[in-house]
Structure formats: C-alpha cells, structure tokens
Structure 1
C-alpha cells in the first residue's frame, strides 16, 4: 500500500489538521485537495458532528479518515452540548471506582462514535497536584502515579470498548512542569525524577490495550537539551527504546502553542517533529497545509527527511487505522 502511494500523499496521510467544525467546507477542502490522514474538531461548534455531515468528508478520503477530538471531561470536552457534561478526571477519581470510570468512558466513547469520531485525545495521564484551574490541574486523575495510572487505564479501556483509539498525554509528563506550554516555554523536573513518577503510566498502560501517545512541548533537563520534547529525537528514543512503545505517536499542537510556535515556523516545526520520530504531526488551526506539505516534499526529495522515517511513521498510522 505504501509503495503505491505518491510521495506527497504519503506525507499528507501522516498529518492531523484542525478544521472548522461548524460545517464540512474546510474538512472537505483538506481531504479532497491534499488527502490529509486526519481532521481535528475543536471549539464549541458541533454541526460537523450532527447527522451525516461527516459523510461527504469520509467519502472524499482514499484511506480511512481519522476524526479526532479532545474530550477529556471537565474543562476540556467537545460533545457536552449534544450529550451532556462529563466530569473532570480529578472529580471522576474522587467520586467513582475505576470500574465506574471505565463504564462512563465506554458510554462517552459510544456517543463520540455515533457522531463519527474515531480518536480521542484523552485520557490525561499527567501526575499532578496542581490547583484545579492550573494548566493540568483537575485534568489529572491524581498526584499519585499508581492512582493516576489505574484511573487513566480505566478511561482508556472504556474508550477502546466503544471502538475509539485513546491517546495518552502529555509525554513525558506535563503535570509538574513550571508553566503552561500554550503560553511559552516550560520545563519539567529532570528526567531522573520523571522516571519515578511521570513515566509510570507510559510504562504500564500500553500493555493493557492499544493506545496512542501524545508528545508534549516541555523541555526536560537530562533529555531534550533545551528543545521541546515533541521536537527532540531523545524523547522518542526514550519512548521507543526504554519504554518499548511501538504504537502511534502524535505531537501536541504545533501551530498555536507558543512553546513551539514562538521558536519555529510551522512548516519547520512539522518537519522537525517527523525527523525527530513523531508519526503524526498535529496542528489545530489547519492553516498553511499546502506550504507545510511543500516543505515536507522538498525535505523528502533531498533526503533531509529520510524515506525510512516516512515509511516507519506511515506503517504505524495505517496500522492504527486498521487500513491494511
């Protein structure tokens, strides 16, 4: 399948880009024009999730189309206007057993599937005792690694039960970082400290069932040498070699989070992510798709982006879609 795909189409199939969820026009343009691998629906509009609005978009895709949202519960959810409120991770852990959380996630996952969603950027597996309203805060199940792992695992299992691919985030751990990567550069504790707590969910949960991993934009002393984790080859080596994860990796938003956007032009950030080891670069605005792909094609043509790296990423993307 991969060898039969033109180069530009191979590269486009790796991408998830944001589209306007108030109607199908932007999604249709991205899929028809460039055959992007996935679309992301953010914001509060839900028109693209109602009825068969996604039908023409799927029909325009040559490969199965990934439809992604970030529906964690609490402050971050996308179908509350359609299907009701989902509690925050911290509230779920405080009031429910892990079996109840799994059942709640399965119910929510079924609702998402009914709206055409295939991938949820959840659960948050960050270990954090931040105040509720902080950047992670009540999005974290617990400050205790074992508790966070147990509840996040239950939520991920519920999504899988409903037929969705869960995404563990934000690797290698945003819960104890010194700021908000939406607003600017942030740093975590050193890698040796992350190993004792923040990496625990990534060590245990992939063995329980299929998941993807979202890589965040934090700098990690002892690992990333000052670069955002999402653009650092050492981050992906840690995940692939030390933690033996062979599933799909997705970057956090490369276009609107200033930990990356203040330092890298979008096409260069997308290229750097792929070169570093990401399988699926993601940006929520969906803008500049053509310049991004032009840059990737140029890099692949000259060898700056090695062909094996493209094939390696595309194998994981196609496997996650059950496309082969």
Structure 2
C-alpha cells in the first residue's frame, strides 16, 4: 500500500500495537465444611456461598500516532500540516526550508528543472526528520511538470479520445515511476471535475469528460497507475470546479448549486472507496447551498460534506492559498492557512513559498488562544502521519 512516504525512511518510526486482556475468575469454597456431607439445598435455603462477579481488565492498545506526536513540539506538529512552494532551480531553498522548520511537504512549481534533476531531491529528503512529501502538478496537457525531462503527457480530454482506461493506467504508471525516480512522492492529479467547457478555460481539457461515469473510470485508472509506481495521487477539485463561472486564480468563482453538483462533479467522489489511498484537494469554490458565499477551502460545511456524505477518512489538502485571488483577496496568507486548518483541512498549500515562520507563529498563537482547537491539530496530524506510514 503506497502512501506519502517511502518505507526506507519509515522503518525506524513504525510503532506496533499489542492488545492484552486479562480475565480473572474468583470462586469461594467453604473450607470448614470440607469432608462432611451437606444437606441438599431447597428453594428456601440460599446456597452457602455465592460466586463473585467475573472481573475483566482490559488494557487499551497504545496509540502509535499519539506516541510519535508526544515527542514533537507544538510548532513541529503544526509544521507537518503545511506544504510550501520552493525554488525549483536547485536544492538550496528547499533544504533551508526543511532544515529551519521541518515542514511536512514542499511543492515544486514553475518551469525550472534543477531540483528535479541529478538527484537534487536526495539532499532535501535527507534533511527531513520525518518523511517529506514532495509534490508536483503533473496532470498532462497544459499542466505538467517533467515534460522537459521525461516527455509529454496528453491532456485528460485527449487521453479519453485516444486511450482505454487500461492504457491510461499504464501511461500513469510509467509517468509515476519517472517522478518517483526523481524524488517526487505526490502528484496533484488527477482532475475529477466533469466539464465540457472549451479546452483553454480554467478546467476545460483538464477534465476527462462531462460524463461523470467516464470521468470516474479514467481518473481511477490514472490514480491506480500513479499509486502502483509509488506516487500518491490527489483528486481535485472538491466539491467541483468543472462547471464554475470564473477562474479562482483570478478571483471568486461560483459553481452550480449543491443539488446540481450531485449529478455532475460530485459523482466521482461516490467512488472514493475504489480509489483506495488518495488525498482529496478542496478548491476555492463558492457553492450555493453549501459554503454560504465563502470559498470551499475555508468552509467547514465543505469538509463536513466530504467527511459525512462521502465518508472520506483520508487526508484533505487545500488548493493554493498563496497565489489564487479567490482566497488572497479575502485573507493574508497566515490567516488563510489558519482558516483552512480550522475548517477541516489537514494540509495547507501555498506555492508562493516563504513566510513559513510567520505562518507557524500565527498557528501557534491560535492554538494557545483556542482559535485553532488542539483537537483539530491532533486529528490533522494523525492523518498526515498515517499517510506517510509513520504510524
């Protein structure tokens, strides 16, 4: 089972759990009557002694994630809940960021490939005290990351036109193997939004199909291929970006009402059990009937829908909180991260990089004041550590 980390880095961190139950039965014997006959009891004669109640003592199993968390400072726990953009030209910036705060993940955007070449990511991984998530955007078409190094992938819409789901699974496996060999552990793909909008619109040809059944089948194949290669897939953009008005990179966007989404973009999420171990990305989408005018990424109702109606128990991450105006027009970065985590996100992403110390200090203060409940931090940390196979 492939999650966010690699087994080579996790062996020393795995914690076993043993359940022990001790059952003690106690009886009573009348020693004074030993050796002589006793009259047979009658209905009016109570027995000379009554057995004591059975006592069962159960020892709760140790909590492996709790044991790991107990050895971490408050700031270190919060640092595992962020994914920060780094300079793609080389390893220096990423090494500095990981060494300084032991952040849980980095995101490699842009066009430069220095950090993805020549084993450069090896030094970054070596700096992390816990397994580091290294993510890229590599969907295919106009959103891909290693095309200069490993060749181009067709867009999702083109994949459906040219290939069967089995062929897409093989294509994604080949691409996942290339990413993994470079040190990447997560691909922010596939898109499961359903859309028939023109190819160059915000989703457009990034969607496999306007037909939810086709979109689900091809997204499942792509996801399976990545995971088989050791790369964690990310399904996006919950609750659905395929039929929105506007581009969340440029400003606020609104989707059709929640009831309408249940027949389009939300359909693939009903197949989440078939996808296995994946992460879900929540987009900056205002959904009438759900988010009350707020972006889904900072709306508790959106996370409640994913956890409740769709019963998703895995890690949930945000779309970019640092470079998309649907959020940056509303919040400064530290507050955006705080609102997202408080709403239900497990990982907050900002591709713009920097400001990590400022964000973590804001989160620490929020935990101390109760603005960010400790229970919410513990819940998110548990999911992140579990996905990394730390516990």
Q: TM-score, normalised by structure 2?
A: 0.82
Residue 136 of structure 2 corresponds to which residue in structure 1? 69
Q: Residue 302 of structure 2: which of 232, 235, 238 is its match?
A: 235
Residue 367 of structure 2 corresponds to which residue in structure 1? 300
Q: Is the 8 A contact 2:156 2:206 kept in 1?
A: yes
Matched, 1:157 2:210: no
Matched, 1:264 2:366: no
Partner of 1:157: helix, strand, or coil? Answer: helix
Q: Residue 167 of structure 1: which of 230, 234, 238 is its match?
A: 234
Any idea what the Cα deviations from partners look like across 1:30-75, whole Å, max 9, x if unmatched?
1000110000000111111112211221111110000000100000
Q: Is the 8 A contact 1:153 1:205 kept in 2?
A: no
Q: Number of aligned pairs?
A: 324
Q: Residue 250 of structure 1: which of 297, 311, 317 is its match?
A: 317
Find runs of 4+ consecutive structure 1 residues off by over 2 angstroms. 205-208
**Post-superposition shift, 1:206?**
3.6
Q: Is the 8 A contact 1:69 1:120 kept in 2?
A: yes
Task: Find the aligned partners of 1:50 and 1:323 in 2 and give their Cα distance.
Answer: 27
Task: Find the aligned partners of 2:273 and 2:191 in 1 and give their Cα distance.
Answer: 14
Q: Is the 8 A contact 1:149 1:205 kept in 2?
A: no
Residue 213 of structure 2 corresponds to which residue in structure 1? 146
Any idea what the Cα deviations from partners look like across 1:103-130, whole Å, max 9, x if unmatched?
0000000000011000000000000001
Structure 1 residue ranges without an equivalent (≥5) = none
Q: Residue 293 of structure 2: which of 213, 217, 226 is its match?
A: 226
Residue 86 of structure 2 corresponds to which residue in structure 1? 19
Q: Is the 8 A contact 1:125 1:170 kept in 2?
A: yes
Q: TM-score, normalised by structure 1?
A: 0.99
Task: Find the aligned partners of 2:367 and 2:81 in 1 and give their Cα distance.
Answer: 14
Any idea what the Cα deviations from partners look like across 1:245-294, whole Å, max 9, x if unmatched?
00110100001000000111100000000000000000001121111111
Higher Rg of the two aligned structures? 2
Partner of 2:69: helix, strand, or coil? Answer: coil
Q: Is the 8 A contact 2:241 2:255 kept in 1?
A: yes
Task: Find the aligned partners of 2:158 and 2:272 in 1 and give their Cα distance.
Answer: 21
Any idea what the Cα deviations from partners look like across 1:63-100, whole Å, max 9, x if unmatched?
00000001000000000000100000000011100000
Task: Find the aligned partners of 1:198 and 1:58 in 2 and give their Cα distance.
Answer: 36
Any idea what the Cα deviations from partners look like across 1:204-255, whole Å, max 9, x if unmatched?
0343311100000010000000110000000000000110000110100001
Residue 33 of structure 1 corresponds to which residue in structure 2? 100
Structure 2 residue ranges without an equivalent (≥5) = 1-67
Matched, 1:114 2:159: no
Partner of 1:51: helix, strand, or coil? Answer: coil
